[in-house]
Chains A and B, each alone.
Chain A
Amino acid sequence: METATSDAEEEKKATFEASEIEYASYGGEHHLPLIMGLVDHELSEPYSIFTYRYFVYLWPQLSFLAFHKGKCVGTVVCKMGEHRSTYRGYIAMLVVIKPYRGKGIATELVSRSIRVMKESGCEEVTLEAEVTNKGALALYGRLGFIRAKRLFRYYLNGVDAFRLKLLFPQRELHPSLVMMAHNDASQRHASNRPLEEFPEQQERDCSSMGESVSNK
């Protein structure tokens, strides 16, 4: 996964209430240009349309978009599948445009994808992020991801990456945790409202198509 970082910028921040952000699941070809536009704009090296189609055609239920007054301001693109006898979700791209960062939109997008992965039977979720991407590391850390591995000079610019992993509780092993999970769920926000979170720094997670590059 490729993640870009930058220092805090003098961008004009958009003012909005959290409730003004609408989240939508990937609905079809009409959403593809929105996703591509966001990722291409934020990413130094644009992906080909085939890369996007690979994800959104095979796993449309895992991609979400965030809108503010009709304008697409964020997106997450994922996949899931069998990986070495583990059913695993993978977060491929996560983008929120700069004026809208720091307000929990990225966390909400990722959380929706993760919930679908969990409901689909995934045992874990993984992604890579640059070691210097403090914002992304903080976001995923709050969601329960650990830094499972460090990948030396993973990116061609020489920066290392962390392989982040989230392990879902295993029901058959931890019945007490199932009870705890039910108790916690009743205290969480409703699914269509953003989760409470700390202000985010800039974050952007983008990935290549396959995980095989990172699995050495």
Chain B
Amino acid sequence: MVSRYYSVDEAIENGAAPVPISCDKTGDVQCTIDIMDHLLACEATWHKGHSLAQTVFSCIYLLRPERTSSHALLHSYSRIIRATCKAVVSVVSDARTHEEEDLFTMAYGLPLIGEDEKCLSMLNAVEETIARQLRACKAPSSGRKVIEDLEPLQNNLALEEGYCKAILCRLRFRKHFYHVLMCLKRPQGRGLQLARKHISSCLSELEIIRKSTEVLRSNDYGTHNCGEDKTTASGRRPVGFDASINTRLSAPTPPRSIKILSWSEAVEYFVKLLHDLDIICSFSLDASLEGILQFMVQFQKSHPDLVSRAHLQTLLIQDGKLYGRDPIFAVIAKAAGLPEIVRNHDIQNGECLVHLGQLVINLLKILSTNAAWQRRKLGKIVQDWRVIHIQLELALRQEMGEESGISADQNGRGDILRQILIWVEEQTFWIASRFLMLGFELELYSPGEYCMVYWYIYVVLIKLAERMHHKMSFTNATAKLKGKKKKGSTKDMSRDFQIPASVLFLQSYICLAEGLTMMLAALKNERMLSQSPSPFNSDHERFIQHFELLQKAGVPDHISYQSFEESTKNARFSTLVMYNYFKDAQRIAKEVKNSFPNDPERQSELRRIEQVAEHNSIALTVLCRLGSLDSSLKVSFDFSHHPYFATAVVKRS
């Protein structure tokens, strides 16, 4: 990328960023709007993974803020842009979610430091003036008296209303967006409700901004860029930008020219960003840890960008507490089903539990990262959770040794450790299941590997369901014991034998995973899957590589490639016909739907499971009936009904 100018000063001397932008007031206003629009496009491009230096600060007016002091509109807009960028850099830096996008927070040499507190008042003053100009230009038609001492925004009275509105919506969008960022910064989520109101205002202003293109394009002034990649609503190239001006401040690698998002793409980006922020703001601050984890998994499905993920993380973790409010031990104790009285127990000061608290915080941070980074980190922390499990076991043995001879005390240290231990086991398997399933979302598995992956998911989910059921049974038993002391009631006995709905939910997954494993194994054993052997290695090496981190951590124990081979080597359609796993998955999904009446996400998920189960059941029936008898049958797998449970497609070639 060759710089046109040696320095910003040289660019200014050559008239690259004149102030005023045009001697003609109408032209000046048009150009100012173009600058605002291009800055929006630059800002969205920055958010999408480029540096500030090559995007927002390619604007020469922003690089020399003192130059625009005579131009109130441009000056106030520049200041709010700088304040906004500073706020976003701050939250991403604090959250440290910038993962691979390490260009995002690079701001050295850029004039980001400024008097933020004045920027809003300046913007409000300019907004007020333009609002009065709008009222003034509408006054003759409404029969009101014109305010004589107020100059119009620009000289062409026919364009006055359109341009006033175009500028007002842009100023208001910036103002509300800045307020959103400030509200989200407030500790303990205190600003979330107000943030939602500002988000709603932002979205309204963006809609008005979109509609302003009609007015802005209808007036021919300056050179047009009529292509789809235009970065302004008017289609004109903006004045005062030079992408090469900051080559010395650009990324460490030789700076390359980047593509700025088009203006319409930028507007879409901000609409999505605002919707993602709104989802964050509307999530309850009283959710359980399990609820939070589920929310984070669900939130990630919409592929939120770095800025919204950073805000989610800083909201969840503040000063080492959940929402800056709930001590982590209390959160863990609640998640483990321990009574409230235990949440202030001094056991929390033990090294093990302090470490466990750090692991939980780390887990929440990892779940805020992008999917690729998240999967790598989840794979690595499985070992850490396994280690803490061993440490807790040792601590429990020590406690039990000390407590022997003492009658069972429900709030004793041993009981607390035991219950936390069960919860830690469950979380370890949950992390392992997320690690495996994210592999599908990231397209890390080739079709030839699906069988081993579903098999591994199956064994992990079985352990997860066991631990979840164990935890719930333990908690119920403890509560029942207390209840018995009080009431002596046996009314709840029948519930002891009912499987909890969340465990049944997992059971539907287990049936799907097992069904897919066996169907894929049968296809391979009956040579219906076209798969040439690799000249350099075998399935064994691929198994080792895919599951290395889980195997190292012993999650689960005693699982190996040999176990996988043993489980699948005899799969045939003649045996599968006797038991249709998919029918079971379908039945369970149907039954358990009523258990989640107020959970639309679970309802949707169960519908998807039913669809996958139904389609696979039909495919399996066809294969069992015709299978290897019909060599024209070809089987492929797609993810049309579910992101990680494949659907078999049987066709004749």
Chain A contacts to B: CB under 8 angstroms = 45, 111, 114, 118, 131, 141-144, 146-154, 156, 158, 160, 162, 165-169, 174, 177, 180, 184, 188, 195, 216
Contact = CB atoms under 8 A, between A and B. Distances in A.
Interface stretch (B79-87, B487-495, B533-541, B588-596): B533-541
Contact of A147 (B445, B532, B534, B536): B445
A141 B443 CA distance: 13
21 contacts: A131-B443, A141-B448, A143-B535, A144-B534, A144-B537, A144-B541, A144-B542, A146-B546, A147-B443, A150-B372, A152-B373, A160-B372, A166-B536, A167-B537, A167-B544, A168-B536, A168-B537, A168-B541, A169-B538, A169-B540, A180-B538
Q: Among A153, A188, A216, which residue has the most Cβ atoms of chain B within 10 A?
A: A153
B101 A153 contact: yes
B403 to A, nearest CB: 44
A148 to B, nearest CB: 6
A165 B256 CA distance: 29
Q: Is the interface of A mostly helix, strand, loop or mixed?
A: mixed
A154 B536 CA distance: 28
A203 to B, nearest CB: 16
Interface string B517-559: 0000000000000001111111011101110000000000000
Contacts, number: 86
B370 interface: yes
Contact of A142 (B534, B542, B545): B534
Contacts of A216: 100
A41 to B, nearest CB: 20
Given A149-B372, A150-B442, A165-B545, 7 more contacts: A147-B445, A151-B100, A152-B100, A156-B256, A167-B542, A169-B540, A177-B540
B537 A142 contact: no
Interface in B423-456: 442-446, 448-449
Given A142-B532, A148-B545, A152-B373, A162 B444 contact: yes
A184 B545 CA distance: 22
B100 A150 contact: no
B532 A156 contact: no
B48 interface: yes
Contacts of A148: 444, 545
Contacts of B370: 152
B99 A152 contact: yes
Contact of B444 (A45, A111, A147, A169): A147
A195 B535 contact: yes
Given A166-B536, A166-B537, A180-B538, A151 B446 contact: no
A150 to B, nearest CB: 4
B565 to A, nearest CB: 11
Contact of A184 (B99, B253, B449, B535): B535
B49 A143 contact: no
B236 interface: no
Given A146-B545, A149-B376, A118 B443 contact: no
Contacts of A153: 49, 100-101
A150 B371 CA distance: 9
B386 interface: no
